[in-house]
Amino acid sequence: MRVNISRRRIKDPFVKKVEELSGQNLLACYQCGKCSAGCPAVSQMDILPNQIIRLAQLGLKEELLESKAIWVCASCMTCNTRCPKGINIAEVIEAVRLILLRKSKDHLIVKELSAEERAQVPPIALISSMRKFTS
Amino acid sequence: MKISYYPGCTLKNNAKNFEDSTLCAMKQLGVEVEELSRWNCCGTVYSLATDDLMHHLAPIRNLIRVKEAGSDSVMTLCAMCYNTLKRADERIKNDPESLERINEFMYLEKTEYKGDVKVLHLLELLRDEVTFEKIAEKVKNPLKNLKVANYYGCFLVRPRGIGLPGEDVENPTIMEKFMSLLGADAVDFPYKTECCGAYQTVDKPEIVAERTNQILTSAQKQGAEVVVVSCPLCAFNLDRRQEETVQLYPEFKNMPVLYFTQLLALALGCGEEALGFDLNYIDPKPVLKEKGLI
Ligand code: SF4
Ligand code: SF4
């Protein structure tokens, strides 16, 4: 992947927004990769949890907002409990999702689910996926 | 002993067997369980965004209901309810400004919340209040020779400080101890705290099928005959999604997944109605019959 980094992007309000919403200091991450090593979802991800943090540090907004990985994360908290720098990676990913969701860009379109699919899953599944994937 | 009980939505339908088996077991153990007369959905997941106070209202309202029931602690069975209620309480307890804003928002509530309700998970209550020794004395039908793998998933153990007190976040052992006490052979396996895919089950069931294949195959490799869980979402994913798992991974072998309380109730001599095996997708009865347990 070819990336262009610039001071302008690092100073993009997007970076500040992610830090604010997640309550995390992105620059604390030194890219050890431990979060990605333990993440159960990596096989389905296009970019890994440590790369999500890196892209956020550098203000590479489009790459993050268009990634599939942010929707594959299940907020399982494994990365959070293992990060040697105490960064809550799941919170950072939630912040990126929220930046999209708050523009009313729902990821899960409930009415596209068939009546059968809706009836099959228990309330706990439907409610949690709506909480995570809709605004 | 009497305890306030918050069931949560799924325990009233798909996971009715989780509730019924618990209520019967608690009766056998002499614990009076009192369901809150009013409660609402906790929201299922704790809101991770710093500015999102709104989603903490649902769990906090339930904690107000506990106070109104004259209690200072509440028991949960569902691991997700446990996590959401406990984290919301922790969050506002440590943040007086949020606490004030939440109380202001809920000005119609007659009771003010002060971070003064303790959220307990059933396992914790059994260990610390009822005590494992006393439970062992009440076992009528020891689960002899049954090889049980204990699946904790995420929310019973993570994050640190919220998960079950006294348990190692990477290697919890309370369920293994519990199953041994009921007479079963507790099987340890490396996937016991690995996520089942959670809410991805709604629109990406193939993710869950991949996890179910890994988690259950790992338990089988360690010799497990059944897996027990404490979360209705884990139960749905590991049990019901075996249908999709077999389709995607033909070498996968089905295995029963139960609530740990179903085995508790069975060991304490509860009847078929309380055990609710008809709600389990993969029928656990053949293996339980083979062991002479039913
Ligand atoms: S574990 Fe923490 S420090 Fe290491 S790469 Fe991940 S976020 Fe960065
Ligand atoms: S919270 Fe998300 S990123 Fe972190 S380990 Fe779990 S699935 Fe991976």
Tell me which chain A residue has its CA closest to the CA of residue B13: A122
Q: How much is the pLDDT for B69?
A: 97
The radius of gyration computed from the CA coordinates of chain B, to the nearest angstrom, equals 19
Measuring CA to CA, which residue among B259, B269, B288, B287 is closest to residue B16?
Answer: B259
* Residue-wise pLDDT tens digits, B123-147: 999 999 999 999 999 999 999 999 9
Query: What sign has the CA pseudo-torsion B183, B189, B195, B197?
Result: negative
Identify the nearest ligand to the CA of B211 by its number.
Answer: 2
CA gap B158, A78 in Å, rounded: 8
CA gap A129, A124 in Å, rounded: 8
> Under CATH, which architecture does the B2-121 domain have?
Up-down Bundle (1.20)
CA gap A13, A11 in Å, rounded: 6
Count of CA atoms in the C-beta half-sphere (13 A) of B222: 20
Per cent of chain A over pLDDT 90 is: 90
B35 and B100 Cβ atoms separated by less than 8 Å: no
pLDDT in tens, chain B (294 residues): 999 999 999 999 999 999 999 999 999 999 999 999 999 999 999 999 999 999 999 999 999 999 999 999 999 999 999 999 999 999 999 999 999 999 999 999 999 999 999 999 999 999 999 999 999 999 999 999 999 999 999 999 999 999 999 999 999 999 999 999 999 999 999 999 999 999 999 999 999 999 999 999 999 999 999 999 999 999 999 999 999 999 999 999 999 999 999 999 999 999 999 999 999 999 999 999 999 999
Q: How much is the pLDDT for B128?
A: 98
Of ligand 1's listed atoms, the one at least distance from the Cα of A49 is: 6
Query: Which ranges in chain B are annotated with CATH 3.40.50.11810?
Result: 139-290
Q: Which of A20, A122, A129 sits opposite B14 (nearest CB)?
A: A122
Q: How much is the pLDDT for B31?
A: 98
CA gap B77, B64 in Å, rounded: 19
CA gap B92, B17 in Å, rounded: 33
Does residue A4 belong to the interface with chain B, where contact is any CB pair within 8 Å?
no
Q: Is B161 left (phi over 0), alpha (psi -120 to 50) or beta?
A: left
Query: Which ranges in chain B are annotated with CATH 1.20.1050.140?
Result: 2-121
Q: Is the model's pLDDT at A2 over the cut of 90?
A: no
Query: What sign has the CA pseudo-torsion B186, B188, B193, B196?
Result: negative
User: One-letter amino acid identity for B200?
Assistant: Q
Q: Is the model's pLDDT at A105 over the cut of 90?
A: no
Domain B139-290, CATH number (from 3.30.479.30, 3.40.50.10490, 3.40.50.11810, 3.40.720.10): 3.40.50.11810
Does residue A134 belong to the interface with chain B, where contact is any CB pair within 8 Å?
no
Which A residues in the span 33-62 are in contact with B, Cβ-Cβ below 8 Å? 40-41, 43-44
The CA A78 to ligand 2 mean position distance, Å, reads 6
Q: How much is the pLDDT for B157?
A: 98
> In a 10 Å sphere around its CB, with 0-12 CB exposed, 13-18 middle and 19+ buried, how is residue A52 labelled?
buried
Tell me which chain A residue has its CA closest to the CA of residue B197: A74
Q: Is A92 near ligand 1, meaning CB less than 6 Å away? A: no
Measuring CA to CA, which residue among B115, B118, B98 is closest to residue B50?
Answer: B98
The CA A87 to ligand 2 mean position distance, Å, reads 12
The radius of gyration computed from the CA coordinates of chain A, to the nearest angstrom, equals 16
CA gap B173, B166 in Å, rounded: 10
Residue ranges covered by each domain of chain A: 7-107
Confidence of residue A89 (pLDDT cuts 50, 70, 90): very high
Contact assignment for B44 to A127 by CB distance below 8 Å: yes
CA gap A48, A35 in Å, rounded: 9
Helices (H), A6-76: 7-10, 13-22, 34-38, 49-57, 61-65, 69-72
Interface with chain B: mutation pick from A45, A107, A124, highest number of B CBs within 10 Å: A124
For helices A89-101 and A49-57, give the axis angle rounded to 10 degrees. Answer: 70
Contact assignment for A124 to B211 by CB distance below 8 Å: no
Confidence of residue A3 (pLDDT cuts 50, 70, 90): confident
Contact assignment for A81 to B198 by CB distance below 8 Å: no
Enter the ipTM.
0.95
Q: How much is the pLDDT for A1?
A: 66
* Strand-pair partners of B2: B32
- CATH fold of A7-107 reads Fumarate Reductase Iron-sulfur Protein; Chain B, domain 2 (1.10.1060)
Contact assignment for B10 to A123 by CB distance below 8 Å: yes
Q: Is A58 near ligand 1, meaning CB less than 6 Å away? A: no
DSSP string across chain B: -EEEEE--SGGGTTTHHHHHHHHHHHHHTTPEEEE-SS-----SS----TT--GGGHHHHHHHHHHHHTT-SEEEE-SHHHHHHHHHHHHHHHT-HHHHHHHHHHTTT-SS---S--EEEEHHHHIIIIIIHHHHHHH-SS--TT-EEEE--TTTTT-STTTSSTTS-SSS--HHHHHHHHTT-EEE--TTTTS---GGGGTT-HHHHHHHHHHHHHHHHHTT-SEEEES-HHHHIIIIITHHHHHHH-TT-----EEEHHHHHHHHTT--HHHH-GGG-SS--HHHHHHTT--
Of ligand 1's listed atoms, the one at least distance from the Cα of A28 is: 3
Contact assignment for B44 to A80 by CB distance below 8 Å: no
Q: Is A80 near ligand 1, meaning CB less than 6 Å away? A: no
B152 and B230 Cβ atoms separated by less than 8 Å: yes
Q: Is the model's pLDDT at A4 over the cut of 90?
A: no
Q: How much is the pLDDT for B243?
A: 98
CA of A87 vs chain B CAs: smallest distance (Å): 12
CA of A40 vs chain B CAs: smallest distance (Å): 7
CA of B47 vs chain A CAs: smallest distance (Å): 9
